[in-house]
Amino acid sequence: VSAIDLSVVQETLDTIVGSVAVAIRFMALFSLVGGGVVLTGAIATSRFQRLRESVLLKTLGARAKQIAQILLTEYAALGTLAGLTGVCLAGLAGWAPLITFLFEADFHLPALPLVGFALAAAVVTAAIGFVSSRDVLRRPPLQVMRDVGE
């Protein structure tokens, strides 16, 4: 019969789990930064289309406030859709392989943080989209048409 000091085993496990948690947090941060870069690039790419739409709307009599509301609504909807998709896919990825098959445990999604992440995605997307579209609202239609014609 041999005696094993369980406090040493627990400390070792805590160290290993802590290291794994740090690695997972780093990868999550890396994914968020990468997603932000992709989001910014996608919004910048669609800038030309926003210019054309705003010129058309201004020509038809829309005010800058109305165009700003349209842009904010569009970007908020896009961010909400992206956030909900991310939350659903993350829940599915965590449920199927990890919890059910590997750990054989009951699966419970933390609803409040996931809703917070989805809302944060909507707010960040709307903010980035609106900031990148500010000069769209300020430029007169004739100037935009001349610039596009070149």
48-101 pLDDT, tens per residue? Answer: 788 888 888 988 998 989 999 998 998 899 888 888 888 888 777 776 666 666
> 23 to each of 26, 80, 81, 117, 120, how far by Cα in Å?
5, 28, 28, 20, 23
Q: What is the pLDDT of residues 11-34, one digit of tens each?
A: 988 888 888 878 877 887 887 788
- The mean pLDDT value of the chain amounts to 82
Q: Report how far residue 90's alpha carbon sits from residue 57's, in angstroms, rounded to the nearest whole number.
A: 39
Whole-number pLDDT of residue 142: 81
Q: Could you tell me where the DSSP H helices lie in the chain?
A: 6-45, 47-59, 64-93, 111-132, 134-138, 141-149
pLDDT in the model for residue 69: 92
> Taking the model in full, what pTM does it have?
0.69
Please report the pLDDT score of residue 100 as a whole number.
65
Using CA atoms, how far residue 98 sits from 90, 92, 105, in Å, is 11, 10, 9
